A and B are shown apart, each in its own frame.
Chain A
């Protein structure tokens, strides 16, 4: 079975703290893709990053970084020096295989609140 688990339902931190959002996935496929999306209070879904199963390199983009570890089936997301504008619901997602018909499976999301 394929599944994405975001065990942290809600996280609240004070501005400038670092915060890590956990994502654990399950799949038996060897080819898959992982994504993170951000949903701010305005409601739209914003794509943040895509990573395929053959590329375990971690990535850093400004204050955002992602740690992909196949050994633990995790794709965690860290925000460094958090800001109030980072407050949003964050979704981790899994897309299986190479097929053009492959669908995305979303986790239930983590609501992140950054307090000033």
Chain B
């Protein structure tokens, strides 16, 4: 049981390049999330998904796209990277039971630098 995994762990991009971050979870969770973490700002939600085939915008969605073609995978895409997207990206997943939404479990993070 690996929990939540993210690939890659590190990446350096040049301005204008594109890339996709992959998140996978093996806990059969319904919900998945992408956050970015910047110094002094905590975590901010980029996009999230409440089920296979559905996605929604979070707090800071501009410049990112996502897809959830399979329940266990949640992809985050940067079509044209900008230096402002230099950050640490975390994926998370959670389940939902009778007593409401449960805690989120996080992946190890992806450190992205855009030069």
Contacts and interface: CB of A to CB of B under 8 A. Distances in A.
Interface residues of A, number: 25
B43 A101 contact: no
A57 to B, nearest CB: 15
A52 B99 contact: yes
A contact face: mostly helix, strand, loop, or mixed:
loop
A31 B100 contact: yes
Contacts, number: 56
A108 B106 CA distance: 17
B42 A106 contact: yes
A45 B90 contact: yes
Interface of A: 9, 31, 33, 35, 37, 43-47, 50, 52, 91, 95, 98-104, 106-109
Interface of B: 30-31, 33, 40-45, 48, 50, 56, 58, 88, 90, 92, 96, 99-109
